[in-house]
Amino acid sequence: MRVHDDWWLTPERVAVHLPTGTGVLADLHLGYAESRRSRGDAVPVPALNDLLRPLAAVLHRHQVRKVAVAGDLLEDGGSSVIDELVTWFAVHDAVLEAVVPGNHDRKQPEALRRLPLFPDGYQLDGWLVVHGDRALPAGPVVCGHIHPSVRLVGKRRPCYVAGPGRLVLPAYSPDARGTIVTASPGQRCLVPVGTNVVDFDTGL
């Protein structure tokens, strides 16, 4: 689904900025399972390749070669995946162009020092990519942080929220609990369903 003329919203929860061929996603929370294990929870640890398979599909389908992360790349203690992440991008012939540190990332600055960090936001052809846990600046902004979702057919489903000069991304992580949102006048809640992204107000 196309919004704001230049953005294509994918069902994989990655927004593609068409003029620059850049994929933007938020709230990966890599290391979530490891963090839970450290607290005593007996949960399986998924392979990074499995976690990033949806992103790989977007890279292939839309010929995206640059990726920007709008915060919370890591969950607490997720630093062990950085080397593997760097290798993953090289294998997929893509560049991790920018990481805007989120509130989880700021707890582990040493883990991210090898990556291209933009603490004040990343400028993308007139749009500013930020995390969203602080006051949003004026002008067109892409952000994450709130994990927007809607309740649809009895289930909580992640969604994009698009409004004038704003694009809020769903959490990429399937483990991130969503915040139920309601579209204000001029906004749209856009829900990934199967291989499509649908307008929440129009139903299925």
> φ, ψ for residue 54 (rounded to 5)?
-60, -40
Is residue 34 left, alpha or beta, with left meaning phi > 0 and alpha meaning psi from -120 to 50?
Answer: alpha
Task: Express each pLDDT in 131-186 by its tens digit.
Answer: 999 999 999 999 999 999 999 888 899 999 999 999 999 999 998 888 999 888 89
User: DSSP string of 26-48?
Assistant: B---BTHHHHHHHTT-------H
Cα separations in angstroms, 156 against 11, 47, 186: 15, 25, 23
If one counts the domains in the chain, the total is 1
Bridge partners of residue 192, in order along the sequence: 197
Q: Does residue 77 have a pLDDT over 90? A: no
What DSSP character marks residue 202? G
126, two tokens:
């007139």
Return d(Cα 21, Cα 23) in angstroms, integer.
Answer: 7
Print the domain residue range for 29: 2-202
49, two tokens:
């390749």
Task: Express each pLDDT in 17-68 by its tens digit.
Answer: 999 999 999 999 998 767 656 666 666 678 999 999 999 999 999 999 999 9
Q: Tell me the whole-structure pTM to 2 decimals.
A: 0.94
**Residue 32: predicted pLDDT:** 74
The better pLDDT of the pair 80, 64 is held by 64
**Residue 35: predicted pLDDT:** 65
Is residue 53 left, alpha or beta, with left meaning phi > 0 and alpha meaning psi from -120 to 50?
Answer: alpha
Contact 189, 159 (CB under 8 A): yes
Q: Which residue reads 């883990």 in tokens?
A: 111
**Residue 161: predicted pLDDT:** 97
CATH number where 182 lies: 3.60.21
Please, how many CA atoms are within 13 Å of residue 32, restricted to the half-sphere of its CB? 15
CA 27 to chain centroid: 5
